[in-house]
Chains A and B, each alone.
Chain A
Amino acid sequence: MILAFFSWEWVFDHLDDIWDRTMEHLLLTVIAVFFGFLISFGLSITVLRNRRLFAPITAFTGVLYTIPSLALFALLVPITGLSVLTAEIGLISYTLLILVRNTVAGIDGVPMPVLEAAAGMGYTRRQLLWRVQLPLALPVIIAGVRIAAVTTIGLVTVTALIGQGGLGFFILRGLSLLFSPVGTTQIVVGVVLSVVLALVVDLALVGTQRALTPWAKAKEAV
Chain B
Amino acid sequence: MIELIDVSKSFPGGGSPAVENLSLEIKDGEIVVLVGPSGCGKTTTLKMINRLIEPTSGTITISGEPVDTVPAHQLRRRIGYVIQQVGLFPHKTVGENIATVPELLGWSDGDIEARLNQLADAVQLEPEFLDRYPSELSGGQQQRVGVARALAADPPILLMDEPFAAVDPIVRAHLQDELLALQDRVHKTMVIVTHDIEEAIKLGDRIAILSDGGQLEQYAPPNEILREPANLFVANFLGTDRGIKRLSLIPVSAIELDRGPVVARGASEAETLEAMAAYGTDWFAVGQGTELDGWAPAADVGPDGVHEVRLEPFRTRLTPDSTLKDALDAVVSSHTSVAAIFNGDEFLGMVTADAIRDEILR
Contact = CB atoms under 8 A, between A and B. Distances in A.
Given A215-B135, A218-B133, A219-B133, A122 B87 contact: no
A118 to B, nearest CB: 7
B87 A114 contact: yes
A167 to B, nearest CB: 38
11 contacts: A116-B87, A117-B81, A117-B83, A121-B104, A121-B149, A122-B101, A135-B91, A213-B91, A218-B133, A219-B90, A222-B135
A119, A120, A221 — which one has the most chain B CB atoms within 10 A of its CB? A120
Interface in A114-160: 114-124, 127, 132, 135-136
Contacts of B135: 215, 218-219, 222
B88 interface: yes
Contacts of B335: none
A219 B92 CA distance: 12
B83 A121 contact: no
A218 B129 CA distance: 13
Contacts of A214: 133
Contact of A215 (B81, B83, B92, B101): B92
B73 A124 contact: yes
Given A120-B50, A122-B104, A218 B136 contact: yes
Contacts of A222: 135-136
Given A111-B87, A119-B76, 5 more contacts: A116-B52, A117-B88, A121-B104, A123-B104, A219-B135
Interface string A29-68: 0000000000000000000000000000000000000000
Binding site of A, secondary structure by majority: helix, strand, loop or mixed?
helix
Given A127-B104, A218-B132, A119 B52 contact: yes
A219 B136 CA distance: 7
A119 B75 CA distance: 11
Interface of A: 111, 113-124, 127, 132, 135-136, 213-215, 218-219, 221-222
A213 to B, nearest CB: 7
Contact of A123 (B73, B132, B136, B159): B73
A121 B101 contact: yes
A60 B87 CA distance: 36
B81 A121 contact: yes
A133 to B, nearest CB: 10
B89 A118 contact: yes
Contacts of A122: 73-77, 101, 104
B85 interface: yes
Contacts of B86: 113, 117
A113 B90 CA distance: 11
A121 B90 contact: no
**7 closest Cβ pairs, A-B complex:** A117-B87, A120-B81, A113-B85, A113-B87, A122-B77, A122-B76, A218-B133
Interface in B94-113: 100-101, 104
B91 A120 contact: no
Interface of B: 50, 52, 73-77, 81, 83-92, 100-101, 104, 132-133, 135-136, 146, 149, 159
Given A119-B52, A120-B50, A222-B135, A114 B88 contact: yes
A63 B92 CA distance: 39
B286 to A, nearest CB: 56
A119 B135 CA distance: 21
A221 B76 CA distance: 34
B104 A120 contact: no
Contacts of B100: 121
B101 A113 contact: no
A162 to B, nearest CB: 43
B108 to A, nearest CB: 19
Contacts of B81: 117, 120-121
Contacts of A114: 87-90
Contacts of A120: 50, 52, 76, 81, 83, 159
B152 to A, nearest CB: 9
A122, A124, A214 — which one has the most chain B CB atoms within 10 A of its CB? A122
Contacts of B87: 111, 113-118
Contacts of B136: 218, 221-222
Contacts of A117: 81, 83, 86-89, 146
Nearest to B90: A215
A184 to B, nearest CB: 50
Contacts of A221: 136
A58 B83 CA distance: 35
Contact of A113 (B74, B83, B104, B133): B83
B77, B83, B90, B133 — which one has the most chain A CB atoms within 10 A of its CB? B90
Contacts of A111: 85, 87
Contact of A132 (B73, B83, B89, B146): B89
